[in-house]
Each structure stands twice: as structure tokens, then as C-alpha cells.
Amino acid sequence: MLDPPGGTLLGAPLGDLVVGGAAGTPLSGLLDAGRLGREATAVLTLRARDSGPIDAVVTVQGIDGYDGRSALAIVRIAPPSTDRFLDPAVMRHALLDDTFRQIGATLDLDQMARGLINIVVAHFSNVASLHVLESLVADEAPTQHEDGPHLLRRLAVASDDHDPGWEVAFPIGEVVRHPAGTIYAQCMDTGRPVQRASGGDADHVAESWMRESAAGLLAGACKLLLPLNARGATLGYIVCTRKRGSRPFDAYDTEIGMEFASRTAILLDNARRYNRERATALTLQRSLLPTGLSAPASVEVKHRYLPGNQLIEVGGDWYESIALPGARVALVVGDVAGHGVRAAVTMGRLRTAIQTLAMLELPPAESLQQLNELMQAMGEREPHFATCAFAIYDAVTGSLEVASAGHLPPLLVSPKGSSEFLDVSPAPPLGIGEGPISSRTFEIKDGSLFVLYTDGLVESRGRDIDDGLKQLQSVFRPTSVRRPMEALAKAALAGVSSDRHRDDVALLIARLARIDRRWRACWTLSGDLTSAREARRLVIKPLKKWKLGAFVPITQLLVSELVTNAIRYSEGPVTLRLICEDTLVCEVADSSPALPRLWDAAGDDERGRGLQIVSRLSHRWGSRRTPTGKVVWCAQQIPRPGPDGSMSRAL
């Protein structure tokens, strides 16, 4: 059958018989094994005399001669049989050696099923189909039903003649039930392979699948059911069918098929477990991310979040925009190290802590210091760490205070399009070090863009982080900086890598501007007790200008109490500020760092009731420290006209 160059078989080098020569074939490996005294077998494509190249199983074994020298001998060259299917050794090589290197990187169940079935049809049977438990496709734990029919879904069907009748009789995606007594129920119940000889099951098949057309297709066929067993459960089976005229399945075919099915079951179970955990982590993270961002009226905020690609589990990236009293806003982006459910849970705990710290009105550096202590406490059993950038923008003064813990530098873009990465004092990531975290304050021009992001936006396997930072900076060109925020967010994500190993991405863009002067008023009052009377007089004009004349009596009382307390417990002048947005905010700043507290005055006490009055008459009140002292504030709800013209309270 073989056709060596020159027509002489005896004495011809084996490399001359191999199509393409010895280079690039397993021949050299065979010879090396033989020289070491080991037996080795491989499938080689050899030249044939009366046909095209044929696949053959070549075995090489070392032999010691009488003089002690090692010689090589080819002990077997088995050409493929004349049947549709190859020699069993060739079949083993095709099914088990190359298959799982190609399929192993796939995590999609449908894609994996199609790839596996196409390999079975190419090398093992004329027709094949793969069925798995419906619970596996539905992301539930596989269950074994002791009573009642098994519920399975057909994921893939293939035939060597591409006859559409097979898919008509056995539709892909169909959910099927197996009545007791069929070979399918037997395979699922026992977890063992089931073989049915030619013509012996046509009636049973038609009855089992509830489709008469199947009987005609399977007439005279030989079937082999290979159970998919993994982790003590039968996940489904592969139906292998050889048509009339093909070599029936034998015990050796069953052995090869079961080895293939066992590896297939592990791949399917791993893909199911990965997809279930990834879906759980993604659902958890999305439920923990903010559903809405709040900010002062003069600040516009847009965000984007992209989960990692297929081979990267969900990470711990998060973002936050929290409106604070006094027309301020906290802008936060963070990244928890690691992936999966654990990273998502840690992210949720940090985000909750950030919200609490922001509402306590701690400055950015102090907030990150508190988060650092929290991360160290969380990492006592298992190390935790995260990076975070925290900024607070004051829409009255136009100042931006920024602190960072191991995070990439924020990008600030001026209204004219010039941009720079802010040089913030470096600090180690949260949960690693105990060094001090400091902040820097920047004066912001109205209309500037402030961009916070995580490393997934600028870093990937095939791109250096410096190139990613330059590309991000190029998005905010002078000609594009005034584009709508939606378009800017889309443009920033346009360069994100599509690589399957891409990390998740969190992006926060804020267009910063001061509150219009028409909606704020500010006065400096002397440290005399008579300043309370002056404050009551000053607030009348702006309230009437804002059409809030009904608020004058209550606001005068609140202002009087706050100014009196400030003068009594501090030295020097005090500052009174009114801000009208969704709420009417009254702020009094003084030079004392001591924060006031609400306490229950006794019946004969002459003092201690000022904050009780403020607490009862205002919607909210609070205090915060400043570099020069403190600010005590209170907020009143402003009625807004409803759709029917009636007045409703703004929250």
C-alpha cells in the first residue's frame, strides 16, 4: 500500500515515507524514545501507492544487538481500515490527544458542546448528539431523580452527511424527558455506557423521543450512549450512532468513548461552575454598585462600569458620587485586589464605609485613613487590600480636595482642553501600610472635567500603562472637551481592550462648576452677641429674592441659634452662608475646632436647648471640621410644585 520515492520499500528511510518529510512530524520524538530504550507510538501520514496519503499507527522500539549496541526497529505499521472509521489507535489519538487542547479554553457551554460533537462525528461515529441535565444549563446544582423521567436539554447534534433531517428529528435546544425502560433512562440511572446493536431499538427510540421520523433515520444503526460523570453525578450523555454498513461499536470503542466522555464531563462541569460563580459575583457586584449618583445642581456626573472579559472573574471596582451639605460632592473610585465573590463582597463593605464616612463629613485623607484601618481589620485572617481615590468638590468656593491610596492619578481637564494628571501625595494601598495619607487642594475653573478611573481602562496585556494613560488623555482634546458627557464617556471606553483577559473597568467623569451667585449669599459677622440680631436681618432679602418669604421666620430662628452658639464658644468673627438648591442650607463657620453635640437639657438648665431647636425645626443638621475651625449647618426642605400645581416637599 505504501509508495516510497523510487519505488523501493526495503531499505527506504522512514522519513521518506512520511508526507512532508521528518521535519514537523512526531517522527523525531519516536526515534528519541527508541534510542532511550522506550516504546513509543504516534500517528503519521504516509505516502500511499493507489490513493492519497493515509494515516497509520507507527510504533518504534529499541532493540539491543548481540554486540551490545542499540538498534531501532519498526514493529508495526497499521494502515487505516477500509471502514468509515480509523484504526482504534488512530481513533484514540484523534479523540484524546488533540481535542482537549482545542476545547479546554472554551467556557461557553453551547460552543463547547458543538466543538465536542464535531470531533466525535469526525473520528468516532456517523451521528452524535450531546444532552445535559436542564438544571446544569439553568445554573443549578445537578440533581439525580430517583422517581420520574429525567429532564435534559439537547445542546448539539452533528452528522457526517449534514442531513438536515437529523436536526429536524432532534432539534438543538429541545428539552426532553426519558420514559423508564429506555436506554437513555438506563444510562442516566446507572451512570454506565449502554450499547444497542443494529436495528434493536428503532421502536424504543421513536417512543422515547416522541417523534416517528427518528425511527427511519436510526433503522439498522448501532448506538453507544456515553454517560457524562463528574463529581459523583451524571450530568448527561453523548449519543453516538454508526449507520448501517459501518463497523459496530465494540468493547475497545466503549473504552475510548468513556475516556472521552469522562474528560468531557469535567470540562462541562468546570464551565458550569465557572459561569455560575461569575454570574453570582456579577449579580452581587451590580447589586452593590450605586443605582444613582447625586451631586449639586452645578455638577454633572457620568459613570460607566464594564465587567472583566470571559477569562477574568468579576473584580471589585466601584465608583461613588455623594451629594454633601453645603453644595459639595464626594467623588470616589476604588479597586479591590482580586476577583470573584470575595472581591465583590469586600467592595460592598468598603462602599458602605465610604458612604458612612462621607455623611460624617470627614475630609478625604481622614476618610481613607479610616478605610485603611478597616481593611487591616478585615485582613487579619486573610490579606485584603484595595486602591482608592477620594475627592470632595465645593461648588461654592470651587475648591477640589483630593487624596489617594495607591490609586492611579486623577485626570483634570480645563475648559480649554489642556489636561494633566494631578500630582497627589502618594500613599500605599488600603490594608497594606500604616503611613499617613495626605491630600492636596486645587482651585478649579468652571467647566473643568475631573476623571477618575481604575486600571482596567488604561492597562492590558498587550499595552503598557503609560500608553493607556496617553490614550485616555487624548480623548479630552480641546475640540472635544465641550461634548456631551455621554459622548465623552463612550469615547473614553472606546480604547478598552477586547482581550479575554481584560480586567473590569470603573469610570467616573464629573463636569465641575460653581453654584450661580444668584443662589447663594455670604456674610462675615463680628464676634459680638449683637451679631445674631444682624444675621436675622440679613437673611430676609435673599429669601424674598428666592421667593421663599414663608421661610423667613423659621430661618431667622435657626440662624439666630447657630450664630449665637458660634460666638459663645469661639473667638473672632463668624461667617454666615445661605445656599438655595433642592434644600435651603444655612452654614455658620467659626474658629473653634470643637464640634457641637445634641444633649438633653434638664428642666432648670438655662442653656443646651439651641441645638434641640435646630434639630426640631430643620430637616437635617450637622457639623464638620475645617482647616481653620468648624462649620455647623442645617437644611430645610423647599416645596416644589407638583404636576397638578400643588406644592410637595422636596427630599
- pLDDT number for residue 210: 46
SS (H, E, C) 169-201: HCCCCCEEEECCCCHHHHHHHHCCCEEECCCCC
Cα 23-26-29 angle, rounded to 5 deg: 100
Q: How far apart are CA 172 and CA 111, in angstroms?
A: 12
Helix (H, G, I), strand (E, B) or coil at 445: coil
The DSSP symbol for 219 reads T
* Domain locations in the chain as residue ranges: 5-80, 92-279, 292-512, 518-649
Residue 59, CA atoms < 13 Å, CB-side half-sphere: 11
Residue 364 C-alpha cell reads as 478625604
Residue 452 near residue 391, CB atoms below 8 Å: yes
CATH class of 518-649: alpha beta
Q: How far apart are CA 543 and CA 584, in angstroms?
A: 9
pTM: 0.65
Q: How far apart are CA 301 and CA 451, in angstroms?
A: 10
Query: First CA to last CA across the chain, in angstroms?
Result: 90
Residue 613 near residue 559, CB atoms below 8 Å: no
Q: How far apart are CA 557 and CA 534, in angstroms?
A: 12
CATH of domain 292-512: 3.60.40.10
Low-confidence ranges of the chain (pLDDT < 50): 75, 79-82, 142, 144-147, 199-210, 311, 642-651
- pLDDT number for residue 596: 86
CATH class of 92-279: alpha beta
Q: How far apart are CA 527 and CA 534, in angstroms?
A: 12
Secondary-structure percent of the chain, ordered helix, strand, coil, rounded to 5: 35, 30, 35
Q: Give the neighbor-by-neighbor strand order of the sheet with 175-178.
A: 175-178, 150-159, 127-133, 233-242, 222-230, 194-196
Which positions ≥6 away from 199 have C-beta within 8 Å? 219, 220, 221
Q: How far apart are CA 521 and CA 510, in angstroms?
A: 25
The DSSP bridge partners found for residue 167 are none
What backbone torsions phi and psi does residue 199 show, to the nearest 5 degrees?
75, 0
Residue with cell 438536515: 164
Q: Answer positive or negative: Cα dihedral of 620, 621, 624, 629.
A: positive
Residue 459 near residue 387, CB atoms below 8 Å: no
Listing DSSP states for 43-97 in one string gives EEEE-BSSSS-EEEEEEEEEEE-TTS-EEEEEEEEEPPPSSSS--HHHHHIIIII
- pLDDT number for residue 379: 67
Q: How far apart are CA 152 and CA 129, in angstroms?
A: 12
Please give the helix or strand (H or E) that residue 378 lies within, else none: helix 364-378
Closest by Cα among 537, 580, 544, 541 to 559 = 537
Residue 535 C-alpha cell reads as 444675621
Which positions ≥6 away from 150 have C-beta within 8 Å? 133, 177, 178, 184, 185, 188
Q: How far apart are CA 278 and CA 270, in angstroms?
A: 12
Which positions ≥6 away from 78 have C-beta within 8 Å? 56, 57, 87, 89
Residue 314 near residue 343, CB atoms below 8 Å: yes
Q: How far apart are CA 367 and CA 381, in angstroms?
A: 24
